[in-house]
Amino acid sequence: MKLFRNPHPNELEKLITKHWTQDSTVLHYTGHMLGIGCRLSSTNALDRISSLKQRTGKEGFIALICDLQWLGDNNIDIPALLVPICQQYWPGNLTLIFPTRNPMFAPVTVNGKTAFRVPTDSMLRQIIDYLGEPMISTSINVSGLPPAETMQDIDKRYANWFDLGFISSSIITTEPSTIIEYADTDDNGKPIIPRLKCLRESSIPFYEIRQSFAQPAILFVCTGNICRSPIAEYLFNKYSKERNLNIRAKSAGLLETGAMISLNSMQLLAEKGINAQEHLSRKINTEILSSSWLIFTMEEAQRDIIRNSFPEFRHKIFTLKEYIGQEGDIADPIGKDSDYYRDIYGQIDEALLGLLDILGGKC
């Protein structure tokens, strides 16, 4: 096996072109697990992997794609109800199984459905993008035995399975993906209320995914979670209910305060008939960010702080104005007079109406 560790991004394409043949079997790291894989179009490599694993069926093969946009660019339909889930958890450790009619996936399609994931590892996504087609991935093990979790395991038992290996970083986690199957028909093909079935629960809890599927949640963030983001949260939820949108909002801040909403913010919301007296500020954390479909900050600096502190979520973090096609920040009114607060309130209100128009077309 030719193993390449941490190749420079500028050298990656050259290495792939030189060493990766049509039928190569390749060691890779998804960001959570080591795997064996190949090009989707290589039936020879797929057959070889099945033989090595002593597997007779197509179950267990996952199509790794570079991003969600790839599906749309290649005219591969994804159920509309799954789009927020994909945007919330991809790239990430979630495998989604849903119906596909495109014949290119026939080698890995079971009962009309294909398993997809956008891997966490950025180098692997770059490789897939360069290949121009999905990479099929599965665990490194003989069926029925535990999967290999370390390079030592592979060197000892499975080294002859691979032609090539691309490993971008130290292997720090060995967590299989959570696997969710989407269904909108029964076993006889009759339409049913769309639902999710958990085939394997891992690092992403099923209850969180099920809740996001039933009602996607967006998150508003400011500094202290006492002025701007609570206004955005309560106003958005009022408008969303009035428009019959199945989206809920929550809010958080960068600081650990546990404080009540500011008096001016509370009074401005009360003018709209909104009671926010029970609001208590909270600080962002991994759980809050993971359970949010989209994350909107009031300032660019806040956006950049969260992106740098939680890079796994950077793809879904925007400033509120940025997302609706405007420039600039929504300034912090803390310590200002009531007229200043009212101006900031108006900016948030206007931005939310634009946001509702956009999200209303996505859900």
State how far the alpha carbon of 81 is from the alpha carbons of 20, 118, 183, 270, 295, in Å: 37, 18, 11, 34, 19
Catalytic-residue membership of 222: yes
Catalytic-residue membership of 38: no
**φ, ψ dihedrals at 296, nearest 5°:** -120, 125
Name the catalytic one among 23, 304, 329, 332.
Answer: 332
Helix extents (H) in the chain = 9-19, 43-53, 69-73, 83-89, 122-131, 151-153, 206-214, 228-242, 263-270, 286-290, 300-309, 320-323, 338-360
**In the structure encoding, which two tokens stand for residue 23, read together?**
């039928």
Name the catalytic one among 39, 228, 303, 307.
Answer: 228
Listed residue (168, 196, 200) closest to 183, CA to CA? 196
Strands 164-167 and 317-319: unpaired
| Cα–Cα dist 188/174, whole Å | 38
Catalytic-residue membership of 86: no
Q: Is 309 helix (H, G, I), strand (E, B) or coil?
A: helix
State how far the alpha carbon of 277 is from the alpha carbons of 22, 185, 259, 265, in Å: 63, 45, 11, 10
Residue 254 CB neighbour total at 10 angstroms: 18
Residues in the chain: 363
Name the catalytic one among 38, 66, 86, 222.
Answer: 222
Question: Residue 308: what residue type?
Answer: N
| Cα–Cα dist 276/185, whole Å | 42
Please give the positions annotated as active site: 222, 228, 332
